[in-house]
Amino acid sequence: MQGALISCILILSFVSPSLCFKRSNFGVETEESTYNVMNYGANVDGKSDDSNAFLSAWKKACEAEGMQTLVIPKGKVFMLKNLVLKGPCKATKIHIQLLGKIVAPTKDQWGEDKTHLITISKVNSLTIDGGGYIEGNGNTWWETCKKCSRPRLLRFSSCKDLSVSSLHITNSPGAHISINNCEHAKFINMNINAPGNSPNTDGYDISNSKNIVFEDSTISVGDDCIAVNRGCSFIYATRIICGPGHGISIGSLGKTKDYETVEEIHVKNCTFKGTTNGARIKTWEGGSGYVRKITYENIILQDSRNPIIINQHYINKISNNGEKSLQISDVTFQGFEGTCADEKAITLNCNNNGCFNIKLDQINIVSSNPKKKAQASCSNVHGRVGQVIPKVPCMLK
């Protein structure tokens, strides 16, 4: 009997994918498997399309029960095109270990679908980590295709209980990561990088999602480090270093005829280095909906051009004399310290309907240009001013 057991173990050790069993709290054994994309025909030359190998490994992991692991090995380079990893899965949890490097095709190599390099949809309890890289080859797009629609690198759609950490994502043709219709997601220790002059290369674009956390990350891009768009609530950004880029923004909102809402957004202990904006809320004229319960707290500034800005005239969509706009209320800017690039420290430019319950306190912003003095300006803003430098005499009660 003992000899038979040893033989069984020896046989299993040579089977691919590797298998093991874990006893659950209920005494039921569940299968745990590891699927290495190398075992499914990946070319690993960084030039041939490895999407089919990734898709085959994914299907095996997704269709199996229990905890499953998909491995993208270290020291290897894989080129992908329009990879779609779909759920729902039978697996209770899936772990993607991105240890190697994924590269996007150059502009001339993309097929007809130029939307996303990798889409992950309807997958729950997914973890992605490993310290690997995704390279977008955006430099082949930016000069020749500034105004055209450009691909994004990574999209999460309708996912729950998502954890993404310790990845390097660089040089996306468009935005780096899209998050749509997701709940309970964490993005931790991420490094997102593109040149400051690369067009519309947002770090994160979020829409119709809630309970999303960003922590301990560096984002250097050519647009918003984090853009929070319609339908978002309970978004938390903590210990983010942003710059270059356009700051951490709410919006833009109000472009469509839809009623758009954003609430419970909390940005804390973040740093803006050489950014075009810092803490920003931007809405189109003529939109409808609301932005409320927003907090920017304990922010370090280094040469940010617009450290604090509300702009309800982002784009004048229709001629309505400013009569219609999203409602902005319950916004707190607190604990800002550092320098603005010129005289613009605080700009609160609200629609004729006004912004309400806007709070400014414990703010000390000075100009890094010795020839200019930091200033504050505002219109149609109702709220309260505490200890603030520069002075804000234009706040309405």
Residues annotated catalytic, as ranges: 223, 246
Residue 68: CB atoms within 10 A of its CB come to 26
Q: Are 278 and 301 in contact (CB under 8 A)?
A: yes
Kindly give, in sequence order, each residue whose CB lies less than 8 Å from that of residue 352, ignoring residues fewer than 6 positions away.
321, 322, 323, 380
d(CA 102, CA 85): 15
CA distances from 170 to 47, 49, 86, 368 (A): 18, 19, 24, 30
d(CA 40, CA 70): 11
Residue identified by tokens 């960003």 is 214
Phi, psi of 220 (to 5 degrees): -130, 105
CA dihedral 210, 216, 220, 225 (to 10 degrees): 20
**Residue 275 buriedness (CB in 10 A; 0-12 / 13-18 / 19+):** buried
Q: Is the dihedral of CA 265, 364, 360, 285 positive or negative?
A: negative
| 55's tokens | 């898709």
Q: Which of 319, 295, 288, 307 is nearest to 366 (CA)?
A: 307
d(CA 33, CA 63): 11
Q: Which of 99, 93, 41, 45 is nearest to 69 (CA)?
A: 93
298 three-state secondary structure = strand
Length of the chain, please? Answer: 397
